[in-house]
Structure 1
């Protein structure tokens, strides 16, 4: 199985800042994501849905 590497296009907040400027600008709360994962998996997790992806070994990994 090969790993796909995609350039990051979006800076994402790991924890929702909900308007809190301290959390919004906290560099430790930032991560880079490709647009596809930010707009799909990350949004689903924020809405409380379970997201399943697969590791390099082929086993499922549950996120969120």
Structure 2
């Protein structure tokens, strides 16, 4: 409730209500990681964008000019 908007959408200048409390570091069943920091995401970003980022190692999101916003992106 402290951060009601999706953090990923906000990076792109969009306003979307957060509906999921996402573990920033994927826990994959590890109880120590499960207690870690959370971030607010909308369902779309959680089920699509975050999953692609976890698999690929970087976000494919771009800014309004078409440049990658993730410094880990190979074209950044």
* TM-score, length of structure 1 as denominator length: 0.70
| Bigger RCO (CA 8 Å, 6+ sep) | 1
Higher strand proportion (structure 1 or 2)? 1
Moved over 6 A (4+): none
Any gaps of 5 or more consecutive residues in structure 1? Answer: none
How many residue pairs were aligned? 60
TM-score (structure 2 length as normaliser): 0.61
Unmatched runs of 5 consecutive residues or more in structure 2: 1-12
Q: Over aligned residues, Cα RMSD in angstroms?
A: 2.4
